Amino acid sequence: MAVQLKSSTFQPANPQPIIHIRPMRLEDLEQVHTIDRASFSMPWPESSYRYELLENPNSRSWVAVTNASDDNQPVTGVVVIWLIEDEAHIATIAVHPEYRGQGISRELLAFALSNVIQEGARLATLEVRANNLIAQALYLRFRFEIVGRRPRYYRDNDEDALIMTADGLDETYLRWLVSGGWKK
């Protein structure tokens, strides 16, 4: 397989700053936590992200930032994936509200999946709120399928979670990701 991608740069569809995807750093935690709180009714505590960075050997964490050459890079999005054997579990993905609708989540997901496939992932899975149709559309674009339901999974409102899985993450899927097949 190809060499693992360490970072990626792209120009969003709207005339916005260039977005760069890179590994998450400790100094990103405050901004990552801000995005998490703005995105989810049950956000992770900042300590969970610290754990992912420093203690969880299965965790792969990336952020999208603007102005990649600037020392003060605003974090616009985040993705955390747990790679266990050949399974990638998408633990969280979120984009700052001011940057939504620009394709950042798609770029983050494509980048992260490309990386974990190159590390041996053959299956990707996640839970998504049953009412979160925007997130479901994102995952369907990447060939995830609904394979199950977890009743009353979310404690804040007893909403069900849909289990979505993308199987067969092989060299063909990787080429499709890298070539931007998911953009069509």
Q: What is the pLDDT of residues 124-168, one digit of tens each?
A: 999 999 999 999 999 999 999 999 999 999 999 999 999 999 999
At 129, which helix (H) or strand (E)? strand 123-129
Tokens of residue 164, six digits: 């979505």
Report the CATH number that the domain containing residue 167 is assigned in CATH.
Answer: 3.40.630.30
User: pTM for the full model?
Assistant: 0.88
127 is catalytic: yes
- Residue 6: the pLDDT is 61
68/103 Cα distance (integer angstroms):
17
State residue 164 phi and psi, 5-degree precision: -120, 140
pLDDT band with cut points at 50, 70 and 90 for residue 66: confident
For residue 1, tell me if it sits in a domain: no
Helices (H), the chain: 29-39, 46-54, 104-118, 133-141, 171-178
- pLDDT band of 84, cuts 50, 70, 90: very high
The CA-to-CA distance between both ends of the chain, in Å, stands at 24
Tell me which of 52, 99, 127, 173 is the catalytic residue: 127
Does any domain span residue 158? yes
Tens-digit pLDDT profile for residues 26-46? 999 999 999 999 999 999 999
Tally of domains within the chain: 1
Annotated active-site residue 52? The verdict is no
What is the C-alpha to C-alpha distance for residues 25 and 63, in angstroms, rounded to an integer? Answer: 9
Catalytic residue among 52, 99, 107, 139: 139
Q: Is 24 inside a domain boundary?
A: yes
